[in-house]
Amino acid sequence: MPVDPTLHWANPPGGITERDKRPTFAATPETYRGPVPIVTHVHGAVGVGDESDGYAEAWYLPAANNIPAEYATKGTWYDFFAGKAAAKFRETWGPGYATFQYPNNDRASTNWYHDHALGMTRLNVYAGPAGFYIIRGGPEGDGALRNARTGRLALLPLPTPREFEQLFPSWMRKYREMPIVIQDRAFNADGSLFYPNTRAFFDNVAGPFLPDTDISPYWNPEFFGNTMMVNGNTWPYLDVDRVRYRFRFLNGCQSRFLILDFNQIPGVEVWQIGNEGGFLAAPVNLTANHGNRLPMALAERADLIVDFTNVSPGNYVLGNVGPDEPFGGGVPGIDFPSADPKTTGQVLEFHVMPGRRIDLSTPPRDLVLPAITPLPTESVTRSLGLIEEMSAFFMEAPAEALLGTIADNP
């Protein structure tokens, strides 16, 4: 991956004094090709101590024996949080690792983990370290659902894949609950991952770069891959029976806003029962009320019941009608072009099998979901800004992404 050393990033070559700072250069540098900093963050986890939250400046390098002596092997905050972990949990951190503790006291919900290293998250996640972290049980979990018709316990589609079982494709058909992470990628001719190694790929700015201007040479403000990937597979398919399934979707793309489109599956009925915060207040019929479509922003999760009962056997594509560019709102095909129907407009293919199977799950229209505990009254309100600062040298060229509180806010 083309690591841009001109950003405010982990900067291991800067050593102890210059790590986690934006370095200065006398001339435009080459990309960084050293050992990769990493630190894990669970996105959506509640009640996690700061020592276990994957602080961007608490990264660490692999425990390798060929790292140059002048390199920093851990981030500025690593030792501080290692001390807190030792005091709270008697956990010892060491070269190449950290041990985190998660209380798992969220509502039953769909979380995910990913890298969080300063200035490198986009590249590390693109390279692979990301996955689901699902919270189950508790007073607002599956066991709290009720069937509106009977008043008894409601049943969601089961079973769900167990550890290592997903490695055997022949076993997949028995599962009725599936986690599905959607990401866009691009590939070189040899099958290796492609990621742009020049700023010119984004907006044709070919230099000069830092230190002669304010544009970093390799950083791309946004990237849209030309291939959709599901759970690490390109052109994926899933064999399904004519029953109800529970799909936990995650938009794991870097810049792409998805609009999942079930309209190419005649007879399907789609309900949303949850999001990243857990179960909704009540099931929502996406087929009847939202045109069989579901918008998903970056890192957003959606808990769906997809009913194939009335779908004829055959192969059907789950589409994406979100744009192949930044999403600014509006209607697909009217306010913006939809994704390329030959590539990024195809998420995965369902192979609906013939015959009938027993389905003991509760119809989603009959689900009574757990009551949502109200949040406490807010004590402080802050206004935040996420801003692209434009270049002083090139027209319409973002130079930095800035996040922070707006001036004069507490």
pLDDT tens digits along 348-398:
999 999 999 999 999 999 999 999 988 899 999 888 988 899 999 999 999
Q: Which residue ranges make up each domain of the chain?
A: 1-135, 139-186+225-373
pTM higher than the cut 0.85: yes
pLDDT surpasses 80 at 234: yes
Provide mean pLDDT across the span 106-111.
Answer: 95
- 3-class secondary-structure state, position 143: helix
Confidence of residue 68 (pLDDT cuts 50, 70, 90): very high
pLDDT at position 169 is: 64
At residue 105, does pLDDT exceed 80?
yes
CA–CA distance, 82 with 101 (Å, rounded to integer): 12
DSSP 323-367: -SS---SS-BTTTBPPPPTTTTTEEEEEEEPSS-----SPPGGGE
Are 289 and 241 contacting, i.e. CB atoms less than 8 angstroms apart? no
Spacing of C-alpha 121 from chain mean position: 11
Residue with tokens 């009725």, as numbered in its chain = 176
At 71-81, the pLDDT tens digits run 999 999 999 99
pLDDT digits (tens, 9 = 90+) for 140-157: 999 999 999 999 999 999
Side-chain-side CA neighbours of 347 within 13 Å: the count stands at 27
> Under CATH, domain 139-186+225-373 is a member of which superfamily?
Cupredoxins -  blue copper proteins (2.60.40.420)
Q: Where are the alpha helices (DSSP H) in 73-218?
A: 78-89, 121-127, 200-203
What pLDDT is stored for residue 373 in this prediction?
A: 86
In the predicted structure, residue 410 carries a pLDDT above the cut 60: no
pLDDT at 186 over 60: yes
Q: 1-135, what's its fold? A: Immunoglobulin-like (2.60.40)
For residue 403, the model assigns a pLDDT of 85
pLDDT score for 52: 98
Q: Which residue has the higher pLDDT, 220 or 161?
A: 220
Per-residue model confidence (pLDDT) at position 407: 76
Q: How far apart are CA 55 and CA 39, in angstroms?
A: 7
Paired tokens of 373: 């505990």
Q: Which two tokens stand for residue 2?
A: 């083309």
Identical topology for domains 1-135 and 139-186+225-373: yes
pLDDT at 116 over 60: yes
Predicted local confidence at residue 150, as pLDDT: 96
